[in-house]
Amino acid sequence: MEFDGDVLTIGLNMSMEEIREFEQFVRPRLEYLETIEVEEGSLLQCSALMALLVSLKRTRSVLKIPFLERGMTASSTYGTLHWMYHD
């Protein structure tokens, strides 16, 4: 996780414990964030992170999460994963 001004960059390969820690870190700072970016090459390992990102976006609708808004990612294990997200 890297915090640079109003942009937070995260890796998708977080464990459940890391997701809990990420949530505890980000919720109090949510109003100061403009964008949550995803590290290139990181692979989604847990749907809980996706659920948290959706929750953060719904809590603060102006928050930009390009990964979530893109609606797809590639995985060497599962191939291309698609999802539908609506504001």
In angstroms, the first-to-last Cα distance of the chain is 25
Chain segment 16-52, per-residue pLDDT in tens:
999 999 999 999 999 999 999 999 878 888 889 999 9
Domain count, the chain: 1
Residue 26 located in a structural domain: yes
Tell me how many helices (H) and strands (E) the chain has. 3, 5
Contacts of 1 (CB under 8 A, 6+ apart): 8, 9, 10, 11, 22, 25
Residue 87 located in a structural domain: no
Residue 54 has a pLDDT of 93
Q: Domain range holding 52?
A: 2-82
Confidence category of residue 87, pLDDT binned at 50, 70, 90: low
Residue 38 located in a structural domain: yes
Please state the pTM of the whole predicted model: 0.86
Residue 82 has pLDDT above 90, yes or no: no
Residue 15 located in a structural domain: yes
